Amino acid sequence: MKYVIQVNEGPYNHEASTSALNFVRAALDAGHEVFRVFFYHDGVNNGTRYTTPPQDDLNIVNTWSELASKHELDLVVCVAAAQRRGIVDEGEQSRNGKDGNNIAPGFRISGLGQLIEGCVQADRLMVFGD
């Protein structure tokens, strides 16, 4: 089975991100393919490298980054939702005249077309969060 995952909630205000992370791990462990993880709405907050949870909390952002590195996952942050929430990569930093970027390792910013492409390529779309 080939999955596309859509995450609509931030890492600490809803269980959606942790549930999506656990689903992706389980799917990969079972031999399934995860074509892409698309972060949308407040879910784009999973892609900021400035998240600094307390030491006894799971660092969801770092966990996504590590999982992406280990399994070559495509973690895509919606550009429009990211811009509204102040999340920029080097390209958006330059285009918008910002003095820095805050995209976490393993994440990239792109458009909604990446979600559509993933839906065409995958067998199933799994949506986590409202």
Cα(44)–Cα(27) distance, integer angstroms = 22
Cα(108)–Cα(45) distance, integer angstroms = 12
Mark whether 78 is an active-site residue.
yes
Give the tokens for residue 111. Answer: 């458009």
What SS3 class is residue 75? strand
84 strand-pairing partners? none
In eight-state DSSP terms, residue 47 is G
In eight-state DSSP terms, residue 85 is T
What SS3 class is residue 59? coil
CB 47 within 8 A of CB 77: yes
Among residues 21, 67, 78, 88, which one is catalytic?
Answer: 78
Q: Tell me the catalytic residues.
A: 78
